[in-house]
Amino acid sequence: MKRFCWSWLSAVVLLSLFFPAGSTAEQKLRDADVIIGLGFGPARDKNGRPNPELLRRVEKAVEVYKQGFAPNIIFTGSDTGAGCEAEVMKESAIALGVPAENIFTETRAVDTITNAKYSVEIMSRHGWKSAILVSNPYHVHRGEWLFEVNPGIEIQTAAAKTPKNPFYHLATLTHEYIAWTGYFLQNSRKKAKAP
């Protein structure tokens, strides 16, 4: 057990070196066709409010939209408990001033692999070739890695703000470590490719 704990801690530290929290926050954005906000579930807390992690992603997507980098937003995520992620994100973005007609929802995705696959399908239907991907600063790297398997699609990233609580970062890095391990054990990128 002790060996496992040290291995886990070492892996998390290494992952944080490769994907530091601020590494995507300073990326200089270029104009794109669409912003893609990756969902997070459950979409609402027990009081019916949007999940704080979900809301931070929406706020970043809206910020990028209002800065004029893209005229459209796709929110992606199914109902993973307490409401559909994409629909809750759309409601939140409208409340923050984004016109409903500029928001597209992808409501089938149950994970980042299908976020990529189904969002790229929407992009293809509209002839969009470039996207700004929004998530937390750890997850956005994994999302970019999956989206980029689709040929002809240019991906940039924009990282949402994160809490200062160190336990948030430890938990998020742990989740990413587990997710990356699973991705390397299966053919994740092939599954993320849109038809």
Q: What is the pLDDT along the chain (195 residues), one digit of tens a residue?
A: 666 555 545 555 554 544 444 444 457 999 999 999 999 999 999 899 999 999 999 999 999 999 999 999 999 999 988 899 999 999 999 999 999 999 999 999 999 999 999 999 999 999 999 999 999 999 999 999 999 999 999 999 999 999 888 888 888 888 888 888 888 778 888 889 998
β-bridge partners, 130: 154
CB-hemisphere CA count at 13 Å for 100?
A: 4
Dist. CA 42–CA 32, nearest whole Å: 29
Domain ranges of the chain: 23-191
CATH class of 23-191: alpha beta
Of the CA atoms within 13 Å of residue 3, those in its CB half-sphere come to: 0
From CA 151, how far away is CA 191, in angstroms rounded?
A: 14
Question: Model's pTM, two decimal places?
Answer: 0.86
Q: How far is CA 129 from the centre of its chain?
A: 18
